[in-house]
Amino acid sequence: MLLLLSLACTTAPPPKETPLGAPVPADYVGVDLVGLTEGTAWPDAPVGAVRLGEEALSLAGVYAEDPEGDFSGFDAVGETPALGVLGPPADGVELDALIDLVGGVVEAVPEVAVWELWDRPDLDAVGPEDAAELACALADVHGAERFASPSPSWADGADALPWLTQFVQAGGGRCVGAFAVHLPADDHPDVDTIEAVRDGLKELGRGDLPIWDVGERFDGADPDPARVARALLVPWTRGVDRVYLHAWGDDAVALVDGSGTPTEAGRAVAVVADWIVGRDLGSCSAEGTTWTCSVRTEEARSWIVWDDSGAGTMSVPEGVTEIAYLDGTVAPVEGDTVELGEAPILLYGGT
């Protein structure tokens, strides 16, 4: 069965006899939740994981001032996997004191399942060797599964892979349960960077640990829904195990407005989650500017498609009868071709 794409390019969906891969888990779709303890409503979307970035960054300082303080605001997390973020160590703090401080925070807020050791350590001039020493000291006490690596950044053209490599080579890779990275927040998926991280960790012998993208940030109070949707699709097929979208509860970069109502981008998160969670998102590949992602279950096959140029066409696969859009609407297929824009659409009904 062939999908005839624009510019006379052709591509074929995976053959039916190809075994199904692991389904996309619910906790693949995450958000950076801002203001949980200050009244931000829980996401009105099928979000499977939350990152308490700004919420948790100040916890070490709060705990240092009052270890017996009230940390009950984190109760709302419930059973949702939560990732807390610890800030860089203060100048002059001895390692033993820092271990005790972080350990105290970990015990004070049991609702947070995993702690990202700190955000953008490369931008704060935190050395990978020092980070590895801290990670291993904490893992010896609390277990490596309670910590994710510090999250180096690709911001402003930086290359964070050397920092992450040195962290692993210094022993930090055996002392964390996941790798957190700020992958580039481009308009379109940066496949090369994603694959460089995955392949680099495999070469270092740590390809067994999950990779969490904590850097999917968007510009403006109402981000482009198409960009948000694309950010969730390609990374899974390149070995990223979780994507945290920024942010839920931040009016400056919002998936939800000040009243707690999801923006168009926030609603797109729910739509894409419904398209992929529990299904085999087996591949996302481009022919020219046209992207095709294969989505399968035991009973059915569908395709998520878009065109980076904003103006593509493709032939409708055999058996496809419906088109679903990011705004949640559905329309019947009319004719033998479909127009493609930058916003992903779902073609389904194929067999």
Confidence of residue 106 (pLDDT cuts 50, 70, 90): confident
Give the number of other Cβ atoms within 10 Å of residue 333's Cβ: 16
Q: Which helix (H) or strand (E) holds 345?
A: strand 345-350
Q: Return the exposure string of 307-318: e unless at least 16 CB atoms fall within 10 Å of the residue's CB, then b.
A: bbeeebebbbbe
Both tokens of 18, joined, read 């190809």
Q: Give the pLDDT of residue 242.
A: 95
Q: How many CA atoms lie within 13 A of 13 on its CB side?
A: 25
For the stretch 128-159, pLDDT in tens is 998 899 899 999 999 999 999 998 887 666 67
d(CA 23, CA 252): 34
| β-bridge partners, 313 | 339
SS3 190: coil
Query: Which residue ranges does the chain devote to CATH 2.60.40?
Result: 3-18+282-350
Q: Report d(CA 36, CA 250) in Å as an integer.
A: 11
Best CA proximity match to 277, nearest among 66, 25, 64, 15: 25
Residue 234 parent element (H or E) = helix 225-237
CA-CA distance, 37 to 329, in Å (whole number)?
A: 34
Region 300-308: mean pLDDT is 93
Express each pLDDT in 236-249 by its tens digit: 999 999 999 888 87
Mean pLDDT rounded to a whole number for the chain: 83
Q: What is the CATH code for 3-18+282-350?
A: 2.60.40
Pick 16 or 324 by higher pLDDT.
324
Give the CATH number of domain 26-278: 3.20.20.80
Among the residues of 22-172, which ranges form H helices? 53-57, 59-65, 95-108, 128-142, 161-169
Binned at pLDDT 50, 70 and 90, residue 90 comes out as low
AA letter at 209: L
Task: Note the pTM of the prediction, 2 decimals.
Answer: 0.87
Name the nearest CA neighbour of 343 among 265, 240, 283, 281: 265
Which residues in the chain are classed under CATH 3.20.20.80?
A: 26-278
